[in-house]
Amino acid sequence: MNPRAESLVSKERVVRQVNLRKEKAAVTLLSFAALITAAVLVFVFVYIMARGLAAIDLEFLLSSPVKMGREGGIFPAIVGTLVLTAVSILVAAPLGVGAAVFLTEYTREGWFSKVVRLGTESLAGIPSIIFGLFGFSFFVIYLGMGWSILAGALTLACMILPTIVRTSEEAIKSVPSIYREISLALGASRWQTVTGVVLPQAAPGIATGIVLAIGRSIGETAAVIFTAGSSLRVPHSLLDPVRTLPVHFYILAREGISSRNAYGTAAVLLVAVLLVDFVAHFVVGRLFRGRGGER
Amino acid sequence: MKRSQNERVAELTLSLVALGSLGILTLITVFIFKEGLPALKEIGLWEFIGGTRWVPSKKIFGIFPMLVGSFMVTGGALAIGIPLGLGCAVYLSEFSSPGVARLLKSMIELLAGIPSVVFGFIGLTVVVPFIRTYFGGPGFSVLASSIVLGLMILPTMVSVSYDALRAVPESYRDGMMAVGATRWQAVRMVILPSARSGILAAAILATGRAMGETMAVIMVAGNATAVPESLLDPVRTLTSNIALEMGYSAGIHRQALFATGIVLFFLVTVLNLIAHAAVRGGSGR
């Protein structure tokens, strides 16, 4: 090799080394960003649990609050959260899955599906406080439901609808079209194909979306506080007001009523939400996969 | 004959159901405007948006401080959330091992589920005292709200920009490797530019989330109705203005809160439409 070529090669090597050093610095910074993101989750969890677990026992979970929550437990808030979430899902799930079926199985991409999709996306971006305002003026006042489980649950249903539509749509789209073709070729109607073939195949994805929506309902505050009220009593009918766990926690924390009970409530809330989300992401799919064969 | 009739009933029902989201959107618009417009008429749009004083007891309703507050807090949140979130997404998509990526993605999905009141509470008990001790001021501040919101928008920022980065064809990366570039050069010169519309969409969606967040901000912002002069001053946002006073308001005061809702609704809808266009522009190329 002549000297000129040799110097070129060594120059090349120096440039390469500088670039690799730059890369190393960049990767260090990027991994730091990733580390911070992960640390936020761990910190929130450990911080709340370390202070909240001490307040939690069977009595805390099963007794009613005394003196506005200064003493006693959170039983009515647990019942309120469960009932409110259940009713909102019962309303939103059929509507959401129905809309997704229509978008994927009954219509081609055209102006109608575009309009529906834009509507769903816009709804998904609306802040929860706006849902609260709307629920208050429409369900509570205009329809005369008052502060009640019904008004709160319907408001929540409006809010979680886009989540269910979107996840169901994705799930239905991922069912191979050969399934539909075989079903139709066998003489099944479109409706029979949807209910007998497409929906069962898409069930894991749809279930994941619904469980995620449950998680969102449980943790929501702003949309619920002006529609379901903040009563501390155990509800007896759908027209009774309730206080959910996040609302109870918010009131305890903000008004400084009892930090011990606030941490306890936060711990129950956090465990409930994380557990539901964990089930949505890592359990639901696996449960169905055992049955689905090739999928 | 009966079967085709059933089919038609099913199709009609489903098409009505599909219009559900649109119907709700319409109802929301109608009812927010129905309650808020009378106040806008009585106060005057410019006095309402440009007015710097908010004194419900004297029927003075100006939301300029809250408008500024919302923008400051959102800007601060983006300054924290965008670099962190994008950095995390690039790391997951381009540099980490598949195992680490899977673990981190799971953690980010769980982070997205943490209720906003819990974030607000952590802000109240950790961030606010920290700022009070080390930076001075009351602690309840623009800075505290920005930090809490910046962390809250991380999941949106990470997952949307991660998807955008993964959508860049593998051949682009192979091509850069083949001409002797390092992975970092490939990211900087090819992958980030190719994914820019998806990253832009992520940033806009995160902006919408930050601007619309209510409960977490109320707990750390201090909620004073004056235009903040520094990052350490307390601040009130549009969302907290509504949530703080809804409980006891009546008459024109309540209408003015709905009018605040109209302004917020307008801002967020514009952002959504821009994000929608950015996503579509990206997939069209």
Residue range A186-223, pLDDT digits in tens = 999 888 999 999 999 999 899 999 999 999 999 999 99
Q: For testing the chain B interface, which of A49, A130, A277 should be mutated: the one with the most B CBs within 10 Å?
A: A130
Q: Which of B21, B86, B91 sits opposite A161 (nearest CB)?
A: B21
Classified as helix, coil or strand, A72 is strand
Q: For testing the chain B interface, which of A17, A24, A41, A230 should be mutated: the one with the most B CBs within 10 Å?
A: A41
* Helix or strand (DSSP H, E) at A65: strand A65-66
Residues A131 and A224 in one domain: yes
Residues A46 and A182 in one domain: no
| Annotated domain spans of chain B | 69-256+267-284
Residues A120 and A19 in one domain: no
CA neighbor of B255 nearest in space, from B31, B53, B23, B67: B31
More confident residue, A228 or B278: A228
Q: Is the pLDDT of residue A292 over 50?
A: no
pLDDT score at B2? 64
pLDDT score at B274? 85
Structure tokens that stand for A261 in this block: 């009970």
Residues A24 and A85 in one domain: no
Which residues neighbour A33 within 8 Å (Cβ) at sequence distance 6 or greater? Answer: B83, B84, B85, B86, B87, B88, B91
Residues A155 and A176 in one domain: yes
pLDDT score at A71? 82
State the residue range of the domain holding A31: 3-55
* Helix or strand (DSSP H, E) at A48: helix A3-52
Interatomic CA distance for residues B166 and B109, integer angstroms: 17
Question: Is the Cβ–Cβ distance between A182 and A220 less than 8 Å?
Answer: no
How many folded domains does chain A comprise?
2
Question: Is the Cβ–Cβ distance between B205 and B160 less than 8 Å?
Answer: yes
Residues A50 and A71 in one domain: no
Residues A221 and A97 in one domain: yes
More confident residue, B281 or A121: A121
Exposure string over B250-262, b if 16+ CB within 10 A, otherwise e: eebbbbbbbbbbb
| A20-49 residues touching B, CB cutoff 8 A | 20, 22-23, 26-27, 29-34, 36-38, 40-44, 47-48
Residues A74 and A143 in one domain: yes
Residues A130 and A62 in one domain: yes
Which residues neighbour A124 within 8 Å (Cβ) at sequence distance 6 or greater? Answer: A162, A163, A166
Percent of all residues in chain A with a pLDDT value above 90, rounded to a whole number: 61
From A1's Cα to the closest Cα of chain B, the distance in A is 22
Percent of all residues in chain A with a pLDDT value above 70, rounded to a whole number: 96
Q: Which of A23, A34, A127 sits opposite B91 (nearest CB)?
A: A34
Provide the 10 A C-beta neighbour count for residue B205: 25
Contact B243 A134 (CB under 8 A): no
CATH of the domain at A272: 1.10.3720.10
Residues A101 and A229 in one domain: yes
pLDDT score at A290? 52
**What are φ and ψ of residue B201, in 5° steps?**
-60, -40
Percent of all residues in chain B with a pLDDT value above 90, rounded to a whole number: 78
The 3 state secondary structure assigned to chain B is CHHHHHHHHHHHHHHHHHCHHHHHHHHHHHHHHHHHHHHHHHHCHHHHHHCCCEEHHHCEECCHHHHHHHHHHHHHHHHHHHHHHHHHHHHHHHHCCHHHHHHHHHHHHHHHHCCHHHHHHHHHHHHHHHHHHHCCCCCCCHHHHHHHHHHHCHHHHHHHHHHHHHCCCHHHHHHHHHCCCCHHHHHHHHHHHHCHHHHHHHHHHHHHHHHHCCHHHHHHHECCCCCCCCCCCCECCHHHHHHHHHHHCCHHHHHHHHHHHHHHHHHHHHHHHHHHHHHHHHHHC
Q: Which CATH class is domain B69-256+267-284?
A: mainly alpha
Residues A109 and A126 in one domain: yes
Q: What is residue A194's DSSP assignment?
A: I
Classified as helix, coil or strand, A112 is helix
Residues A9 and A84 in one domain: no
pLDDT tier for residue A114 given thresholds of 50, 70 and 90: confident
Name the pTM for this structure: 0.91
pLDDT score at B266? 94
